[in-house]
Chain A
Amino acid sequence: MARRYLPVAAFAGLIVAIQLATFFTGTAYHLTQLTMTAYYSLVTVGLCMLIGYAGQISLGHAGFFAIGGYVTAFLTTCNLKLHPGVLVSVLEKSGLLVARSDAYGGSLLTVHPWPACGVAILLAVVIAYLVGGPVLKLKGHYLAMATLGFGIIVYRMVLGTEFLGSADGISDVPGFPLLSGMLITGNSSARVSNYYLAWGLVILGMVLLLNLIHSRVGRALAAVHGAEDAAGAMGIPTARYKLNTFVLSAVFAALAGVLLTHYNGGIGPSEAGVMKSVRYVAIVAIGGMANLWGALSMSLVLNYLSLRGYFGTYDDAVFGVILILIMLFAPDGLLRRHILSDLKRAVSRNPAEEEAS
Chain B
Amino acid sequence: MTLLSVRGISKRFGGLQAVSDLSFDVAAGSIKALIGPNGAGKTTIFNLISGFLPPDCGEIVFGGAEIHGMSSCEVAARGMVRTFQHIRLFPKMTVLENIMVGRHIHSRAGFLAGMLNLPFTWGEERRIREKSFEIMELLGIGAHAGTEAISLAYGQQRVVEVGRALACEPKLLLLDEPAAGLNMRETNEMGRLISRIREMGVTVLLVEHDMSLVMKISDEVVVVSYGEKIAEDRPLAIQKNREVIRVYLGDDA
B116 touching A211, Cβ below 8 Å: yes
B77 touching A235, Cβ below 8 Å: yes
Contact of B93 among A215, A217, A223, A229 (CB under 8 A): A223
State which residues 54-78 of B face A: CB under 8 Å. 71-73, 76-77
Q: A222-B92, A236-B73 are in contact. Are A215 and B117 (CB under 8 A)?
A: yes
Chain B proximity mask over A200-221: 1 for CB below 8 Å, otherwise 0: 0000000011011001111110
B76 touching A232, Cβ below 8 Å: yes
B114 touching A226, Cβ below 8 Å: no
A231 close to B (CB within 8 Å) = yes
A216 touching B91, Cβ below 8 Å: no
B124 close to A (CB within 8 Å) = yes
B114 touching A232, Cβ below 8 Å: no
The residues of B that contact A244 with a CB separation of less than 8 Å are 111
A211 touching B104, Cβ below 8 Å: no
In the bound complex, what is the Cα–Cα distance between A135 and B250 (angstroms)? Answer: 50
B121 touching A216, Cβ below 8 Å: yes
A179 close to B (CB within 8 Å) = no
A211 touching B101, Cβ below 8 Å: no
B102 touching A234, Cβ below 8 Å: yes
B117 touching A234, Cβ below 8 Å: no
B115 touching A212, Cβ below 8 Å: yes
In the bound complex, what is the Cα–Cα distance between A217 and B117 (angstroms)? Answer: 11
B33 close to A (CB within 8 Å) = no
Chain A proximity mask over B88-102: 1 for CB below 8 Å, otherwise 0: 111111000100111
B84 touching A211, Cβ below 8 Å: no
Chain A proximity mask over B104-137: 1 for CB below 8 Å, otherwise 0: 1101011101111100010011001000000000
B52 close to A (CB within 8 Å) = yes
Contact of A235 among B93, B100, B168 (CB under 8 A): B168
State which residues 226-249 of A face B: CB under 8 Å. 226-227, 229-238, 244, 248
B89 touching A227, Cβ below 8 Å: yes
State which residues 63-111 of A face B: CB under 8 Å. none
Q: How far is the CB of A125 from chain B (nearest CB, A)?
A: 13
The residues of B that contact A209 with a CB separation of less than 8 Å are 115
A interface residue count range (under 10 / 10 to 19 / 20 to 34 / 35 or more):
20 to 34
In the bound complex, what is the Cα–Cα distance between A223 and B167 (angstroms)? Answer: 15
Chain B residue with the shortest CB-CB distance to A238: B73
Q: A216-B109, A222-B93 are in contact. Are A234 and B84 (CB under 8 A)?
A: no
The residues of B that contact A211 with a CB separation of less than 8 Å are 114-117
In the bound complex, what is the Cα–Cα distance between A212 and B125 (angstroms)? Answer: 13
Contact of A229 among B52, B77, B107, B117 (CB under 8 A): B52
In the bound complex, what is the Cα–Cα distance between A92 and B234 (angstroms)? Answer: 80
Contact of B76 among A215, A226, A234 (CB under 8 A): A234
The residues of B that contact A235 with a CB separation of less than 8 Å are 73, 76-77, 81, 104-105, 168
The residues of A that contact B115 with a CB separation of less than 8 Å are 208-209, 211-212, 215
The residues of A that contact B100 with a CB separation of less than 8 Å are 219
Q: A222-B93, A226-B92 are in contact. Are A232 and B73 (CB under 8 A)?
A: yes
In the bound complex, what is the Cα–Cα distance between A235 and B124 (angstroms)? Answer: 17
Chain B residue with the shortest CB-CB distance to A211: B117
Contact of A234 among B81, B91, B97, B128 (CB under 8 A): B81
B109 touching A215, Cβ below 8 Å: yes
In the bound complex, what is the Cα–Cα distance between A290 and B50 (angstroms)? Answer: 31
The residues of A that contact B84 with a CB separation of less than 8 Å are 229-230, 233
B42 close to A (CB within 8 Å) = no
The residues of A that contact B11 with a CB separation of less than 8 Å are none
Chain A residue with the shortest CB-CB distance to B88: A230
Q: A212-B114, A232-B76 are in contact. Are A227 and B90 (CB under 8 A)?
A: yes
Contact of A237 among B73, B81, B91 (CB under 8 A): B73
The residues of A that contact B168 with a CB separation of less than 8 Å are 234-235
Q: How far is the CB of B100 from chain A (nearest CB, A)?
A: 6
In the bound complex, what is the Cα–Cα distance between A208 and B164 (angstroms)? Answer: 28
A236 touching B101, Cβ below 8 Å: yes
A230 touching B90, Cβ below 8 Å: yes
The residues of B that contact A232 with a CB separation of less than 8 Å are 52, 71-73, 76
In the bound complex, what is the Cα–Cα distance between A236 and B71 (angstroms)? Answer: 11
Q: A208-B116, A226-B93 are in contact. Are A219 and B101 (CB under 8 A)?
A: yes
Q: How far is the CB of B148 from chain A (nearest CB, A)?
A: 11
In the bound complex, what is the Cα–Cα distance between A19 and B26 (angstroms)? Answer: 69
Q: A211-B116, A216-B125, A220-B101 are in contact. Are A233 and B76 (CB under 8 A)?
A: yes
In the bound complex, what is the Cα–Cα distance between A227 and B97 (angstroms)? Answer: 14
B158 close to A (CB within 8 Å) = no
Contact of A217 among B81, B97, B102, B109 (CB under 8 A): B109
B111 touching A234, Cβ below 8 Å: no
Q: How far is the CB of A206 from chain B (nearest CB, A)?
A: 11
Q: List 14 A-B contacts (CB under 8 A).
A: A211-B115, A211-B117, A216-B104, A216-B124, A217-B110, A222-B90, A226-B93, A227-B89, A229-B84, A230-B88, A230-B89, A230-B90, A234-B164, A237-B71
Instruction: Given contacts A215-B109, A230-B84, A231-B90, list 19 more A-B pairs with CB under 8 A.
Output: A216-B125, A216-B128, A219-B93, A219-B101, A222-B90, A222-B93, A223-B93, A227-B89, A227-B90, A232-B71, A232-B73, A233-B50, A234-B76, A234-B81, A234-B104, A234-B164, A235-B76, A235-B105, A290-B92
Q: Which 8 A-B pairs have the closest CB atoms?
A: A215-B114, A235-B76, A235-B105, A230-B88, A226-B90, A208-B115, A232-B72, A211-B117
